[in-house]
């Protein structure tokens, strides 16, 4: 039979797991934020590229010197977004695998609580 110490230990384990899960969720959220920031930066590059292209077509003046760094920025941003999305998918997969391995922990906690309740009613 489980005693109060077992229930406390089970609750402590559950609390620690909840804290870890909160950290994992925060990690995933941080990746999402980084992706959105990189996408916003990419949008800015595209806007600037469009303006320079418009100016070049309208005036006939070459904007190649200004366009080259913008194109490089677009390429760098696209690569950063690709890497962040890979990292996000890896994190999601890791969480999915970890989640699949945890049901027995919940069952152990429930069993310890049930045994403690039974022990408490038997006394």
Of the two residues 90 and 2, the one the predictor is more confident about is: 90
State the pLDDT at residue 16.
66
Task: Report the C-alpha gap between 1 and 8 in whole angstroms.
Answer: 14
Q: Which residues contact 38 (CB under 8 A, 6 or more apart)?
A: 77, 80, 81, 84
On whether the CB atoms of residues 35 and 88 are closer than 8 A, the answer is yes
Residue 23: is its pLDDT beyond 70?
A: no
- How much is the pLDDT for 113? 66
pLDDT digits (tens, 9 = 90+) for 32-74: 999 999 999 999 999 999 999 999 999 999 999 999 999 999 9
Q: What percentage of the chain reaches a pLDDT higher than 70?
A: 60
Q: Inform me whether the pLDDT recorded for 1 exceeds 50.
A: no
């Amino acid at each position: 039979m489980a005693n109060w110490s077992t229930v406390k230990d089970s609750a402590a384990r559950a609390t620690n797991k909840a804290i870890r899960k909160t950290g994992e969720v925060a990690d995933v959220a941080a990746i999402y934020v980084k992706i959105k920031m990189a996408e916003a930066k990419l949008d800015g590059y595209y806007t600037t590229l469009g303006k320079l292209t418009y100016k070049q077509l309208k005036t006939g003046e070459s904007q190649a010197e200004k366009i080259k760094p913008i194109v490089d920025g677009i390429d760098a941003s696209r690569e950063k977004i690709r890497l962040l999305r890979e990292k996000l998918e890896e994190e999601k997969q890791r969480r999915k695998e970890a989640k699949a391995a945890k049901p027995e922990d919940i069952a152990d906690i429930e069993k310890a609580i049930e045994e403690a309740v039974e022990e408490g009613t038997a006394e």
